[in-house]
């Protein structure tokens, strides 16, 4: 068998795009199915499921026999386990119209009976999600090949916050919380590894963050464009095959992106749209207009998921997530070793986080183009709660639910203005500059996306506030001396993306 794949080793520097920065800028859908109460009660009634013996801290990458299956259960035991999980889902399906009650969502046994595999659990959203669920009684396993750390090593980047290695993180979490997180180190594009992990852990839900998630990274050159598409699309197909073959009742919760929709001149619905054409009507997936090879990989994922859901009767939920901001959740602040990563470079840093870091170090906030680009945003504390809600409300077999996972919409100019105001309150002097837009996108456009379904299921969002921005800025100020200001300016231009050979020639 082939060894696990790794991200391509770069043979080129980044794009030669340069900026001429100019100073100054003026600054309902129907309610979704509700299953959480019935599922939790059924899970607790499932004898023995929550007390199963854990598979301790396993790294499959080090096994001598790559095809070996870890701690595979006997056929009768595995069959009984699947039957108990089926009871959980059957009860949830029968309770479709129960009004959601999330009052117990933060209880230490809220997730009793659920076994959640977090694919990409070492990353920004994945780590926070793993701790959030573990702290609420879900049995959690992390699957990760550490490629996000590899990208930093390749490009000379670093998290602003000093994150620990994944093994130390997991050990510290068990020490602080008393809860064990299982660890499977390997690449989901290696199907032998992935199938062994599925058979060892037997998840009731798989939360799939495990993809290359940066649009600029995917546009740097041909090598990274191809890697992004093959890694993301093939990995998701492998996950669906693993569910089909080893955990057919497992609910796939897949992280998509609001960027799949693009910026259409009509309202963006939650996944599906009803169209009338030539006297006939049908409800179809909302049209997708990805704006980079990364966004297009997510579009392909969504199409593949819908096909497999219908063909194989899978339970799937596609979460089209907006831009995530923040660094702190309840769990990541329980010990310094648990702190989450915070990216500020122009390749992996998200807009609001990057603006806050620029303001903290006295660097002008870089608004791309006119700054009218509008997107959906959410606090990382809401990301983890959305995942919990999705796990508690599995889709019926053969149905793919789609939720737009964001809480507010802002333009880039509005973000810059909010950071400016918040920064002044803590003694900073934030400045804003417009820079040439390295992306191919509309800079002024209509944008109205629907996002009611997660609210219908009980999400109570943390909306943007002065207090939240003050908190984020104060955390960043603690680490501002670690900022490499050379990484704050855009360095990847969509139109200059080329093959490795051409980029190398351009930089000689």
Please identify every residue annotated as catalytic.
Answer: 257, 294, 298
3 state SS of 219? coil
Rounded CA-CA distance 23/206 in Å is 47
Is residue 281 classed exposed, middle or buried when 0-12, 13-18 and 19+ CB atoms within 10 A define those classes?
Answer: exposed
Is residue 318 classed exposed, middle or buried when 0-12, 13-18 and 19+ CB atoms within 10 A define those classes?
Answer: buried
Rounded CA-CA distance 307/175 in Å is 43
Strand ranges in 187-288 using DSSP code E only, listed in sequence order: 205-208, 251-257, 272-277, 280-285
3 state SS of 146? coil
Q: Are strands 139-144 and 365-368 parallel, antiparallel or unpaired?
A: unpaired
Sign of CA dihedral 382, 386, 389, 391: negative
Q: Which two structure tokens, joined as six digits, stand for 463?
A: 């909306």
In which element (H, E) is residue 366 found? strand 365-368
Q: Which two structure tokens, joined as six digits, stand for 103?
A: 């009052």
Q: Which residues are 206's β-sheet partners? A: 117, 252
Contact 262, 298 (CB under 8 A): no
Place of tokens 């939920």: 317
Rounded CA-CA distance 12/506 in Å is 10
- Count of alpha carbons within 13 angstroms of residue 221, beta-carbon side: 18
Sign of CA dihedral 125, 126, 131, 135: positive
Tell me what percent of the chain is helix, strand and coil, each rounded to the nearest 5. 40, 15, 45
3 state SS of 477? helix
Sequence length of the chain is 508
Contact 272, 450 (CB under 8 A): no
3 state SS of 280? strand
């Amino acid at each position: 068998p082939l060894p696990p794949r790794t991200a391509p080793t770069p043979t080129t520097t980044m794009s030669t795009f340069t900026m001429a920065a100019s100073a100054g800028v003026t600054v309902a859908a129907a309610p979704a199915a509700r299953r959480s109460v019935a599922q939790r009660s059924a899970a607790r009634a499932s004898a023995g499921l929550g007390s199963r013996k854990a598979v301790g801290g396993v790294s499959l990458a080090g096994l001598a026999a790559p095809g070996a299956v870890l701690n595979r259960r006997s056929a009768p035991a595995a069959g009984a386990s699947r039957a108990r999980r089926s009871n959980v889902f059957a009860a949830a399906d029968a309770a479709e119209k129960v009004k959601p009650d999330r009052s117990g969502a933060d209880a230490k046994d809220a997730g009793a009976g659920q076994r959640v595999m977090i694919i990409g659990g070492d990353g920004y959203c994945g780590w926070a999600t793993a701790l959030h669920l573990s702290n609420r009684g879900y049995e959690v396993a992390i699957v990760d090949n550490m490629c996000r750390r590899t990208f930093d090593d390749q490009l000379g980047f670093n998290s602003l916050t000093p994150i620990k290695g994944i093994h130390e993180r997991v050990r510290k979490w068990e020490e602080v919380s008393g809860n064990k997180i299982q660890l499977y180190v390997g690449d989901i594009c290696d199907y032998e590894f992935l199938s062994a992990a599925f058979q060892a852990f037997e998840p009731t839900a798989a939360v799939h963050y495990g993809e290359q998630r940066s649009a600029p990274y995917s546009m740097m050159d041909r090598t990274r464009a191809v890697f992004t598409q093959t890694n993301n699309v093939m990995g998701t197909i492998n996950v669906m095959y693993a569910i089909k073959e080893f955990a057919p009742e497992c609910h796939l919760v897949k992280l998509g992106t609001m960027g799949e929709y693009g910026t259409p001149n009509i309202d963006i619905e939650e996944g599906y749209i009803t169209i009338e054409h030539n006297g006939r009507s049908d409800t179809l997936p909302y049209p997708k207009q990805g704006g980079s090879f990364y966004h297009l990989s997510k579009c392909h994922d969504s199409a593949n998921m819908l096909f497999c859901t219908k063909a194989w009767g899978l339970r799937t939920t596609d979460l089209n997530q907006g831009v995530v901001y923040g660094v702190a959740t309840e769990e990541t602040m329980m010990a310094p070793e648990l702190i989450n990563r915070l990216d500020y470079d122009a390749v992996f840093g998200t807009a609001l986080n990057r603006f806050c870091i620029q303001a903290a170090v006295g660097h002008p906030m870089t608004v791309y183009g006119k700054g009218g680009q509008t997107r959906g945003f959410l606090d990382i504390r809401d990301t983890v709660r959305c995942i919990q809600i999705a796990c508690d409300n599995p889709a019926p077999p053969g149905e793919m639910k789609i939720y737009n996972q964001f809480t507010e919409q802002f333009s880039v100019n509005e973000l810059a203005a909010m950071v400016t105001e918040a920064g002044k309150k803590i003694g900073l002097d934030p400045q804003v500059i417009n820079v040439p837009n390295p992306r191919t996108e509309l800079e002024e456009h209509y944008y109205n996306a629907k996002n009611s379904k997660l609210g219908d299921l009980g999400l109570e969002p943390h909306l943007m506030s002065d207090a939240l921005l003050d908190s984020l800025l104060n955390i960043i100020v603690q680490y501002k001396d670690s900022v490499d200001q050379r990484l704050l300016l855009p360095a990847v231009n969509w139109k200059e993306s080329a093959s490795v050979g051409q980029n190398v020639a351009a930089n000689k």
